[in-house]
Structure formats: C-alpha cells, structure tokens
Amino acid sequence: MGVRKIVVYELVSLDGVAEAPDGFIVDWDDVMDANLASVIATQDAVVLGRRSYAEWARFWPSSPIEPFATFINGVTKYVATSTPLDQDWANATAIEGGLVDFVRELRQQSGGDVGVHASISVAQALLAAGVVDELRLVMAPRIAGHGRRLLEGLPSIRLETIRSEVSPSGTLLIDYRVLP
C-alpha cells in the first residue's frame, strides 16, 4: 500500500476568502455535486479544526444534504483541538499531540485519502508544512471582500493544475497537485 493522499477541499471566493462560504456560494448545481461526490468517494478519514467540528457536529447529524451528510456522519473524523470534544458525534476523536506530526503518521497508514474540509487553520498549517498532496478548490464567481483567506500567510508553494471545469452556475472547480 502506498502513501495516503492528503486532500484539502475548500469553497472559496475569487478573492480567496474561505470563511462563511454561504455568503458567496449561492448557486449550487449538479456539476458541483458530482465534483464533491468524486472528492469524498476516495476518502475514509477527515481532519477538522475545533471550530468546524463544533459547527458541523450541530448541523450534519440531522442534515438531509446528500451525499455529504452520509459521508461526514459515517467517516472517521480527527479533530485538531487542545480541549476535549464538547459535542458527541459518531467516529470523532481529538488528535493527541501536534497536528502536522499526526497527519504525517496518518498518511503512512493504509487506507483511503484523508480529507481536510472547511477548516482554514488546519488547511493552512498542513499546506505550510508540505504534507498536502492535492488542493481542490470550488471557486465562486464572486468577490467576498472580507473574511479569512485560505492562502494568506503561506510560504511559496508550487502547484500543478490536474483538472479544471466550469460548472453551469459559473463556479470554477479546480484541482491542483502540490509539487515538492
């Protein structure tokens, strides 16, 4: 078995904002659904930050939004937090020790891809540490104007475009391989 891929999947505005994507992703279409389904189809573990975990643990267990609800409720979830998890959610565990070391070890274990969804600080830490294999962006045709930006404060990182598509709503679906 080879090394598992670490795949960051983020919804962003044209100006790179990833915070509160409901404010700039307003038209979700079938092509975006199919893209998300293909991203999660290969993942059997997810790494989340504490804030995303807290928000998602309230929302997803009762959500009818498929295919993501079934996926995220059933998948193994590792949460980057220094405090005990305050919400009970199936298959969730707090990460012991440092995030980057944990993900490096997880990457060496057998299994499917490891997804990083929504958690801006986790994505930034893993990108900065060079442990991300793919960056999959859903870029809305909107300028958010304010909010936390996904790529702000990162070192120079070389990327190779491996796929791009424009959905019917004008959203750019773009997958990058992170180069060494």
Q: For residue 1, is it within any domain?
A: no
Are the beta carbons of 114 and 7 closer than 8 angstroms?
Answer: yes
The domain total for the chain is: 1
CATH label of the domain that carries residue 37: 3.40.430.10
Q: What is the pLDDT of residue 129?
A: 98
Q: Which residue has the tokens 């389904």?
A: 37
CA distance 127 to 121: 10
Q: For residue 146, is it within any domain?
A: yes
Whether the pLDDT of residue 128 is over 90: the answer is yes
Q: For residue 104, is it within any domain?
A: yes
Strands 43-49 and 76-80: parallel
- Tens of pLDDT, residue by residue over 73-116, are 999 999 999 888 888 899 999 998 999 999 999 999 999 999 99
Percent of the chain whose pLDDT exceeds 70: 99
Q: What is the pLDDT of residue 89?
A: 95
Secondary structure of 127-176 in HEC code, one letter for each residue: HHHCCCCEEEEEECCCCCCCCCECCCCCCCCCEEEEEEEECCCCCEEEEE
- Tens of pLDDT, residue by residue over 43-61, are 999 999 999 999 999 999 9
Which neighbouring-strand residues pair with 178? 159
Q: For residue 115, is it within any domain?
A: yes
Confidence of residue 13 (pLDDT cuts 50, 70, 90): very high
Q: What is the pLDDT of residue 2?
A: 64
Q: For residue 126, is it within any domain?
A: yes
Structure-derived torsion over alpha carbons of residues 11, 45, 52, 25, reported in degrees to the nearest 10 = 20
Q: For residue 125, is it within any domain?
A: yes
Long-range contact set of residues 58-64: C-beta below 8 Å, sequence gap at least 24: 58/87, 60/89, 61/89, 61/90
User: Residue 14's domain spans which residues?
Assistant: 6-178
Q: For residue 55, is it within any domain?
A: yes
Whether the pLDDT of residue 1 is over 80: the answer is no
Which neighbouring-strand residues pair with 79? 48, 94
Q: For residue 111, is it within any domain?
A: yes
| Residue 172 Cα distances to 56, 63, 109, 141, 142, angstroms | 25, 26, 33, 8, 11
Give the strand order in the sheet containing 134-139: 92-94, 76-80, 43-49, 113-117, 6-12, 134-139, 172-178, 159-166
pTM comes to: 0.95
- Tens of pLDDT, residue by residue over 18-37, are 999 999 999 999 999 999 99
